[in-house]
C-alpha cells in the first residue's frame, strides 16, 4: 500500500461555535452569519425561514466572528479571527454573489504565553477600534480610522487570568470591561478606557471585586442604560458607574446569552434551560432584575435574535434550532418556547461503528453523538433510500409510464411495456394494483411511449403508430402512422407536441389537438436518431421551442420548433452513442443532460441568447446504459438516472449534484402518486416492479435516536442483531450531590429500541467496549472495560473486564475479572483479548476450566508506556497509541509467549486515535488537530532504522479525531476504480465524518500538482494561506504538509467556472485536459 493519502470530508462540521446577525449581503436584508469551526455560512432571513446564501471554508479554526459597520458603509462588514493569530475583514459582493476580502493581517507576537481561556476578539460599538486578547498580560488594539484598519499595537494588561472581555456602550472613549480571576481564585471585573492616541489604558468608570466564584460571562448593556451584566453560577449582577443590582438564582452554569432589546436578554445553561432576564428600569436607572425560566431547548452555544420573536440557537452538544418565543404558555411543552426547525448536529462524535444493517453491501455508520441530555445515536447513510410499499414479480419490462386520472390530480394507471405487448395496471376499489384494459390502447404491441396529453386525452406510441385516446371513455379518438412499410424507432412528447424518429434518421414533428394529431413537419437527419426529448423549459411550460436528438454519430443536435431548423449541435466524442437526452430546469437554469451507453453522463447549460450549449461537464454514473426521467419530490424537480448504479440528479446553489440510490440496479422509473401510494416511484429492475417512497433528496441521510444521556462507546453484534452502548448521565442524590452513572444499554439493530440495561456500580465508569468471539467458541460476547474513579486517586488503581452474553434479548454476565487499573481499550486478538490497562498492555486468554465454564487469564504483558489509550491489531501486530509518547508497534511471539517492541515513533505526540493501514503503514491523530502517517522500515540496514517508525506524511486536519474505522460510506462495485482504493472513516468533535483513502503513487503526484495549481489560481477566504493551514503544527514544531492530499480543495475544482478550470489545467501543463481532471475528481467524489 502507498504511503500517500487523500483526506476528504463526507459530512461538514455541524457544531456551531459563533453566530451574529446584521445586514451583510444587502442594506435592506437581515442575515444570520454562522461559524462552524472551520466554515462560515451566510443565511438570509425570509418569511419562509432561513435561506442559505453562501457556505465557504475558512483556512483556520475560527476564534472570533463579529459584524460591524464603520462610518460610510451601507452594509455590515464581517470581522473574523483564526487560531493561528490571523484576522480578516470580509464584505459581500452582491453582483458576483461572492465574499471578498477588505482587509487582512497577522497579529502574532514573537513572544508571549497564549491565553489560557482562549482567544477573544471584540469590536467597539462605535467602530473606533478592534480589541484582541491573544496572550496573557497583553491587549492588542487595531484602530479604525475613516473606515480603514490601522497598524495594531499592544497595551499591557495587568490581569493575567482573563475570563471575558467586552466593550461598554455609550462611552466617549473606547472602554472595555475585563472579567478576571486572581491568584487566590477570586473573580473581579475591572474597566479601562483605551486611549488610542497615547496607546495606553486609562482608569475606567467602575470596577467590582469579589464576585460570584462562578462568574463567567459579561453582557454589555446598550445605552442609555450602559454598564454590564455579570452572570455567575448563583448570582447575576448588573453594574454601571452609578448603580449595582444583584439577583440570586438557582445554581447552574450559563453557556450563552442573546440580546432581545436594551432591557431583555435570553440566557441558556448547560442543561438547555432557557431563561428570560429583564432589567426593570426606573427612568434610566436599573432598579431590579427579573429572571424567569421559559422553556427547554438544546444546550446553547450561541443565541442570536433575528426578528418577530424568532431566535437562532447554535449548539455544540445537540441540534441547533430556530425557535419562536411566545407571550402565552404553550400547553404541550409547558413553556413559552416553540421549536420551528432543527438543524442536525452530529458533534461531538466520541465513537462510532460501521454496519451493513440492510445487507446491501454498503456501510452505514452509527455515531455516539451529543452530550448530556442531548446525547443520541445517529444513523448516517450515504445516498437515497427507497422505502418499499409494494412489489410485483415481473420480468422483461421494456418501458414504464404512469397516467393521471380524469381529475389530473393522482396517478391512476401504470403502463408496463414488454416485447410484443403492453399491460395496464390500475388501482381497484381495494386500493390494490390490478391488471385492467383501456379499449383504445393497443395491448398487443410494445409501447415506446405513453403519457397524458392535453384536452383530457391519453397518448400511446408504438412502432406502428401514435394513438390518441379519450381519458374519460377510453375510446380511440385518432391515430397517426408513418408511411406503409416505415416504423417508429424513438419518440418523445409533452402535453401538446410529439417528436418521432421514423426509419432511423427521419425526424417527424406532430402537434396534439383536441381529437386530432397533426403532422407539422419532418426532416432528414445526417445520422440515425438514438434518443429524443421535447420537455418544455423556461417560461412556457406547455410547449417546447426546441427538440433535442441524440445521434448515432456521437452528437447531440438541437432543432427549433416548429421549423425543425438547426438550433445548435454538440459533438460528444468517443465511440459510445447517447441513449437518453433530457431537458431539465433546476433553480431557473435549463440544462441538457445526455446519457451514454457506457454509463457516462454529459451536462450542458442551454444558452438561449447565444443559441448554444455551454459549461460542458462529464461524470461517470455507472457502466451500463442510462435512462433519464424527471420527477418531483417535495415540490422540487429532480432527475432519476436509471442504470446499474441508479442516481438522482438535483441542484443546490446552482450546482448539479448526484446522489446514488440504494438499489443495486434500476432499468426504468416512473412517478406514481396516488392515494394508496402518495409521492411514490415505480421502479423496474430485471425481474421485479417495486413501488416505494423516496427519502429526502440529499447526500447523507441522518436518523436520530434520542437517548437523553450521553453515549460514550458503541459496538454491534451480528449474531444477536443488537447494539450495545455505554452511556453516562448525571444523577442528583438526596444530599444534593451530583454523581455520574454509567450504564450498558442494549438496543435491537432494527428499531433501535432499548431491550435491556446493565447498571455499573458507584464510582465505576465504562471506558472500553468490543463485540467478539473468544478462543474457538462460536459464541459472540460483549466485552466491557471499566475503571473505578475515587476522589483520593490521581489515576484509577482498579478496574474490571466484564464479559456479557445476549440471551433472548437479555444481558447476562458470564465472567468478570479485576484489573490493576483502568481498562482504556479492548481488542480481539486471534481468539484472545488485548487490553490497555493504565500503562500496561495485557494479553488475555479465554480458557475452559470445566464443562461450559470459562476463565479469563492474563498470558503476558508489555510495559514502558505512559497510558495505553488506543490500540489496534492486525495479525500478530499490535499498534499502541500512548497518551504522550506517540505510537509504538509491537508483535506477539507465541513461541516465546511474549509481546515485544518492533519499532516506535520517538516524537512526543499526544494521541487521540490510531489505525493500521497495512502491516507497514500506520495512521495517527494527535491533540493539536494533526494527522500523521508512519512507516516501518522492516528492510532497513541497521537495527536503529528498523526500530524507528519513519514519519512519511503530516497534515493539519483542524479538528479533533476521536476514532478511525476501516470501512466505506458508499457501495463499492467490483468493476470500478474506487473498489481498488482502501478507505478509513474518521469522526471528530465538530461533527465531521471524513475519509482517508490510500492513493497510488501516480495518482498522488497528479493530485499534488493539481492542488498546487489550484492554490495559485484560487485564494482562500480572507486571504488565508492553504499551505499554512494544512501545515503540521503543535506546541513543539511545525512542518509543511506532505504525504496527504486535501480532498476538500481538490473536489472544489468541480465548482469552478470553466475559465478558472482551464486556468488551473493550463498551469498543470500537458497531457492534462479539463475533461481528464474532472473525470478523476468526480471518481474521487464517489469515495464518499
Write out the DSSP string of 860-873: EEE---S-EEEEEE
Query: How far from 1039 is each of 114, 604, 931, 965, 1083, CA to CA, in Å?
Result: 20, 43, 12, 27, 30
- Dihedral sign computed on CA atoms, order 901, 906, 909, 914: negative
Please check whether residue 459 is in contact with residue 479, taking contact to mean a CB–CB distance below 8 angstroms: no
- pLDDT for residue 539: 72
Kindly give the parts of the chain with pLDDT less than 70.
1-2, 358-362, 406-408, 430-431, 653, 697-699, 734-736, 852, 971-979
Query: Which bin fits 603, alpha (ψ -120 to 50), beta or left (φ > 0)?
Result: beta
Nearest partner of 682 among 694, 674, 692, judged by Cα: 692
> Which pLDDT does position 812 carry in this prediction?
92
pLDDT at 268: 95
Q: Contact 548/592 with Cβ under 8 angstroms? A: yes
* pLDDT at res. 292: 93
Q: Look at residue 407 in the predicted model and tell me its pLDDT.
A: 60
Counting DSSP H helices and E strands in the chain, the numbers are 6, 88
Could you check whether the bond before residue 562 is cis, i.e. omega within 30 degrees of 0? yes
Is residue 109 within 8 A of residue 138, CB to CB? The reply is yes
CA dist 680 and 691 (Å) reads: 7
Question: Coil, helix or strand for 431?
Answer: coil
Cβ-contact 826, 770 below 8 angstroms: yes
Sheet with strand 688-694: strands edge to edge: 386-393, 688-694, 680-684, 668-672
Side-chain half-sphere CA neighbours of 132 within 13 A = 28
d(CA 781, CA 796) in angstroms, rounded, equals 25
- The confidence score (pLDDT) of residue 238 equals 94
Cα–Cα distance between 39 and 43 in angstroms, integer?
13
Q: How far apart are CA 581 and CA 627, in angstroms?
A: 8
Max Cα-Cα span within the chain: 104
- CB of 852 within 8 A of CB of 863? no
Phi-psi region of 739 (alpha: psi -120 to 50; beta: other; left: phi over 0): beta
- Residues 746-779, buried b or exposed e (16+ Cβ, 10 A)? bbebeebeebbebebeebbbbbbbbbbebeeeee
3-state DSSP assignment of residue 1078 = helix
The strands making up 754-759's β-sheet, listed across from edge to edge, are 710-717, 722-732, 738-748, 754-759
Closest CA to 299 of 15, 62, 714, 705: 15
* Cα angle value 121/123/126 (rounded, 5°): 170
pLDDT at res. 762: 86
Closest by Cα among 947, 340, 971, 1018 to 659: 971
Confidence (pTM):
0.82
Amino acid at each position: 500500500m502507498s504511503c500517500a493519502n487523500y483526506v476528504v470530508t463526507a459530512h461538514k462540521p455541524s457544531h456551531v461555535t459563533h453566530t451574529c446577525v446584521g445586514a451583510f449581503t444587502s442594506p435592506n436584508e437581515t442575515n444570520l452569519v454562522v461559524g462552524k469551526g472551520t466554515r462560515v455560512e451566510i443565511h438570509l432571513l425570509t418569511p419562509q425561514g432561513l435561506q442559505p446564501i453562501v457556505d465557504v471554508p475558512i483556512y483556520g479554526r475560527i476564534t472570533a466572528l463579529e459584524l460591524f459597520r464603520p462610518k460610510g458603509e451601507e452594509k455590515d462588514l464581517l470581522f473574523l479571527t483564526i487560531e493561528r493569530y490571523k484576522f480578516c475583514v470580509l464584505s459581500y459582493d452582491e453582483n458576483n454573489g461572492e465574499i471578498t476580502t477588505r482587509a487582512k493581517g497577522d497579529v502574532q507576537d514573537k513572544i508571549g504565553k497564549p491565553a489560557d481561556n482562549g482567544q477573544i476578539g471584540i469590536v467597539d460599538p462605535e467602530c473606533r477600534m478592534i480589541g484582541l486578547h491573544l496572550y496573557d498580560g497583553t491587549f492588542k488594539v487595531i484602530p479604525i480610522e475613516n473606515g480603514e484598519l490601522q497598524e495594531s499595537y499592544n497595551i499591557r494588561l495587568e490581569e493575567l487570568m482573563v475570563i471575558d472581555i467586552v466593550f461598554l456602550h455609550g462611552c466617549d472613549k473606547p472602554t472595555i470591561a475585563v472579567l478576571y480571576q486572581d491568584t487566590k481564585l477570586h473573580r473581579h471585573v475591572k474597566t479601562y478606557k483605551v486611549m488610542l492616541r497615547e496607546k495606553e489604558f486609562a482608569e475606567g468608570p467602575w470596577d467590582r471585586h469579589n464576585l460570584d466564584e462562578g462568574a463567567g460571562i459579561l453582557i454589555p448593556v446598550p445605552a442609555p442604560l450602559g454598564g454590564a451584566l455579570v452572570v455567575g453560577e448563583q448570582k447575576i449582577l448588573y453594574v454601571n458607574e452609578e448603580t449595582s443590582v444583584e439577583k440570586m438564582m438557582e445554581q447552574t452554569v450559563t453557556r450563552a446569552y442573546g440580546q432581545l432589546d436594551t432591557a431583555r436578554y435570553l440566557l441558556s445553561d448547560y442543561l438547555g434551560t432557557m431563561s428570560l432576564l429583564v432589567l426593570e428600569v426606573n427612568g434610566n436607572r436599573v432598579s431590579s432584575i427579573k429572571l424567569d425560566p421559559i422553556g427547554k431547548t438544546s444546550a446553547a452555544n450561541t443565541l442570536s435574535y433575528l426578528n418577530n420573536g424568532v431566535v437562532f440557537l447554535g449548539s455544540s452538544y445537540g441540534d441547533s434550532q430556530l425557535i419562536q418565543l411566545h407571550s402565552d404558555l404553550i400547553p404541550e411543552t409547558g413553556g413559552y418556547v416553540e421549536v420551528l426547525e432543527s438543524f442536525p448536529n452530529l458533534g461531538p462524535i466520541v465513537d462510532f461503528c460501521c454496519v451493513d444493517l440492510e445487507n446491501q453491501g454498503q456501510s452505514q455508520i452509527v455515531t455516539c453523538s451529543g452530550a448530556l441530555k442531548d446525547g443520541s445515536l445517529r444513523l448516517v447513510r450515504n445516498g437515497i433510500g427507497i422505502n418499499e410499499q409494494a412489489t410485483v414479480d415481473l420480468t422483461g419490462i421494456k418501458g414504464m409510464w404512469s397516467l393521471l386520472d380524469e381529475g389530473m390530480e393522482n396517478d391512476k394507471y401504470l403502463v408496463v411495456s414488454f416485447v410484443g405487448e403492453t399491460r395496464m395496471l390500475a388501482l381497484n376499489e381495494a386500493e390494490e394494483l390490478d391488471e385492467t384494459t383501456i379499449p383504445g390502447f393497443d395491448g398487443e404491441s410494445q409501447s415506446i411511449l405513453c403519457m397524458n396529453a392535453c384536452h383530457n386525452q391519453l397518448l400511446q406510441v408504438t412502432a406502428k403508430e401514435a394513438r390518441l385516446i379519450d381519458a374519460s371513455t377510453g375510446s380511440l379518438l385518432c391515430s397517426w402512422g408513418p408511411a406503409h412499410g416505415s416504423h417508429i424507432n424513438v419518440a418523445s412528447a409533452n402535453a401538446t407536441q410529439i417528436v418521432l424518429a421514423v426509419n432511423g434518421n427521419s425526424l417527424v414533428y406532430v402537434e396534439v389537438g383536441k381529437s386530432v394529431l397533426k403532422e407539422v413537419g419532418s426532416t432528414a437527419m445526417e445520422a440515425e436518431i438514438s434518443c429524443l426529448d421535447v420537455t418544455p423549459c423556461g417560461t412556457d411550460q406547455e410547449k417546447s421551442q426546441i427538440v433535442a436528438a441524440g445521434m448515432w454519430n456521437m452528437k447531440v443536435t438541437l432543432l427549433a420548433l416548429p421549423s425543425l431548423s438547426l438550433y445548435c449541435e454538440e459533438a460528444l466524442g468517443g465511440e459510445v452513442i447517447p441513449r437518453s437526452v433530457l431537458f431539465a430546469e433546476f433553480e431557473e437554469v435549463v440544462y441538457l443532460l445526455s446519457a451514454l451507453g457506457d454509463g457516462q453522463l454529459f451536462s450542458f447549460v442551454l444558452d438561449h441568447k447565444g443559441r448554444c450549449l455551454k459549461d460542458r461537464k462529464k461524470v461517470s454514473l455507472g457502466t451500463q446504459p442510462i435512462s433519464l426521467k424527471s420527477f418531483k419530490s417535495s415540490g422540487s424537480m429532480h432527475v432519476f438516472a436509471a442504470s446499474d448504479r441508479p442516481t438522482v440528479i438535483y441542484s443546490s446553489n446552482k450546482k448539479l449534484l448526484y446522489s446514488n440510490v440504494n438499489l443495486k440496479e434500476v432499468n426504468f422509473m416512473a412517478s406514481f402518486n396516488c392515494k394508496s401510494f402518495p409521492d411514490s416511484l415505480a421502479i423496474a429492475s430485471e425481474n421485479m416492479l417495486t413501488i416505494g417512497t423516496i427519502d429526502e433528496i440529499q447526500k447523507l441521510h441522518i436518523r436520530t435516536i434520542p437517548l437523553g444521556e450521553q453515549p460514550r462507546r458503541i459496538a454491534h453484534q451480528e449474531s444477536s442483531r443488537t447494539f450495545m452502548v455505554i452511556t453516562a448521565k448525571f444523577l442528583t442524590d438526596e444530599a444534593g450531590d451530583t454523581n455520574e452513572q454509567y450504564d450498558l444499554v442494549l438496543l435491537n439493530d432494527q428499531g433501535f429500541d432499548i431491550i435491556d440495561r446493565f447498571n455499573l456500580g458507584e464510582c465505576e465508569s465504562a471506558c472500553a467496549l468490543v463485540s467478539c468471539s473468544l478462543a474457538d467458541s462460536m459464541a459472540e460476547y460483549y466485552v466491557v472495560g471499566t475503571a473505578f474513579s475515587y476522589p483520593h486517586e490521581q489515576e484509577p488503581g482498579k478496574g474490571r473486564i466484564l464479559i456479557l452474553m445476549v440471551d433472548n434479548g437479555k444481558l447476562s454476565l458470564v465472567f468478570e475479572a479485576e484489573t490493576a487499573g483502568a481498562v482504556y481499550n479492548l481488542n480481539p486478538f486471534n481468539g484472545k483479548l488485548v487490553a490497555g490497562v493504565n500503562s500496561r498492555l495485557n494479553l488475555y486468554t479465554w480458557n475452559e476450566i470445566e464443562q461450559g465454564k470459562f476463565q479469563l487469564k492474563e498470558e503476558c504483558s508489555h510495559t514502558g508506556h505512559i497510558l495505553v489509550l488506543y490500540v489496534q491489531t492486525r495479525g500478530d501486530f499490535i499498534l499502541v497509541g500512548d497518551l504522550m509518547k506517540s505510537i509504538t508497534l509491537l508483535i506477539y511471539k507465541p513461541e516465546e509467549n511474549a509481546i515485544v517492541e518492533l519499532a516506535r515513533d520517538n516524537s512526543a505526540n499526544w494521541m487521540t486515535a490510531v489505525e493500521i493501514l497495512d502491516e507497514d503503514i500506520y495512521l495517527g491523530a494527535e491533540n493539536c488537530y494533526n494527522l500523521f502517517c508512519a512507516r516501518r522500515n522492516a528492510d532497513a540496514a541497521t537495527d536503529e532504522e528498523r526500530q524507528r517508525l519513519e514519519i512519511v506524511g503530516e497534515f493539519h486536519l483542524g479538528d479533533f479525531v476521536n476514532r478511525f474505522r476501516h470501512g466505506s460510506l458508499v457501495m463499492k462495485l467490483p468493476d470500478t476504480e474506487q473498489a481498488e482504493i482502501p478507505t478509513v472513516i474518521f469522526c471528530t468533535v465538530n461533527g465531521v465524518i471524513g475519509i482517508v483513502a490510500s492513493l497510488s503513487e501516480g495518482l498522488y503526484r497528479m493530485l499534488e500538482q493539481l492542488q498546487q495549481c489550484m492554490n495559485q489560481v484560487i485564494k482562500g477566504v480572507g486571504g488565508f494561506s492553504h499551505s499554512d493551514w494544512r501545515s503540521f503544527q503543535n506546541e513543539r514544531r511545525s512542518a509543511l504538509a506532505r504525504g496527504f492530499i486535501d480532498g476538500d480543495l481538490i473536489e472544489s475544482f468541480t465548482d469552478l467556472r470553466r475559465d478558472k478550470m482551464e486556468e488551473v489545467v493550463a498551469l498543470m501543463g500537458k497531457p492534462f485536459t479539463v475533461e481528464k481532471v474532472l473525470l478523476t475528481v468526480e471518481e474521487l467524489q464517489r469515495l464518499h
